[in-house]
A and B are shown apart, each in its own frame.
Chain A
């Protein structure tokens, strides 16, 4: 029994879920997860953190994704949002945000906001762990989350935010 590989295995469903949300493409997402796992296995002796592997894996996955995006931009490839298949959408219920609209809105977010938002909402990670994965201070994470949500509000056409007094 190899506890390191077991720890990796336990993280695979979450890595797939997160990669799928980032890329909106099943094959690309699984390629990304495979690269991430191979990198983790080949570096296990050298760079492996002492604690749980989850944060380390997510950081690697994000770096691989950013590199792939940079490379595809250099090659001049672009993704046409209209070619991205919509996930199957249950009929919206009153008071709920239309899911197709939400999916499209998330695609339009700047990458750094999308990365942060999905770590916290989809993966349910504590702010501290999400900030550690992204290598940013927690205050920076909070402001990215705030900006992401304000953008989603606008993009999904939900009513303007009520005026709130902010306390420093």
Chain B
């Protein structure tokens, strides 16, 4: 072999070649001092990087990084109606009667976990988008509301979050869980510092029971609730107090027509 590419030299230095290829490169290096110097430099870089950072891999692993323990903790959290107390605080803060809590969900509904995961995932995918964050922009909010309401088979107004400092960017239609109508709507809001929150709405689950849950997932906070008409998950990475204010506003606006005799919210 008379010619060896730079990529092959790099692969040689990185130990990525088969024995035959290695032999060929070694023969070439004997006859090419420039190439040998190049390889030696790459190897020195590799050695320096390993010298710098390899020791961290030999340290004792702290207890908080033991998978067994993490798994037990996650199981414990899921086994309880966790987040329930916090949800109650928020909802009571909205001035709702405690009678509304007559049917707490003692077994967290696995459907809610799936919907929360879908909502968080959709949030992560689309908040990162600049030009294609939404399908229909807020300048056409009446059309957006009508279109999404028709697709979800329920009236969906656009919550107004101006008081929380957020304005509507727009919305999109997404495929959703078969149990919840097979479709989902995502509404996106943004504040002055370009922080975004999303609201993920589907048709009600078959049982139509009220349920509420807070969850932290993938670095985002999610507040989920379901009633006889819709399921809704508010997702964001804001500080907790701000998330609660936003979630509370969304909740009260989207359920206004459902839980009291006040006129339905008009978006």
Which residues of A are interface residues toward B (Cβ below 8 A)?
Answer: 2, 5-6, 8-9, 12-14, 16-17, 20-21, 29-30, 33-35, 37-39, 41-43, 46, 64, 67-68, 70-71, 74, 87, 90, 95-97, 99, 102-103, 106, 117-118, 120-122, 124, 126-127, 142, 145-146, 149, 152-153, 158, 161-168
Contact = CB atoms under 8 A, between A and B. Distances in A.
A64 B53 contact: no
Which of the four size classes fits the interface of chain B? Answer: 35 or more
Interface stretch (B1-9, B81-89, B198-206): B1-9
B49 A121 contact: yes
A16 B64 contact: no
Interface string B1-34: 0011111011100111000000000000000001
A119 to B, nearest CB: 11
B67 A5 contact: yes
Contacts of A39: 217-218
A146 B218 CA distance: 33
A142 B70 contact: no
22 contacts: A9-B66, A12-B67, A17-B54, A17-B57, A20-B56, A21-B52, A21-B53, A38-B70, A41-B74, A64-B219, A67-B124, A71-B237, A96-B44, A106-B49, A118-B49, A120-B14, A122-B49, A126-B16, A146-B10, A153-B45, A164-B6, A166-B6
Nearest to A64: B219
A124 B237 CA distance: 34
Given A9-B66, A68-B219, A99 B48 contact: yes
Interface of B: 3-7, 9-11, 14-16, 34-35, 37-38, 41-42, 44-54, 56-59, 61-62, 64-68, 70-71, 74, 117, 124, 128, 193-195, 217-219, 237
A164 B34 contact: yes
Given A64-B219, A167-B5, A37 B49 contact: no
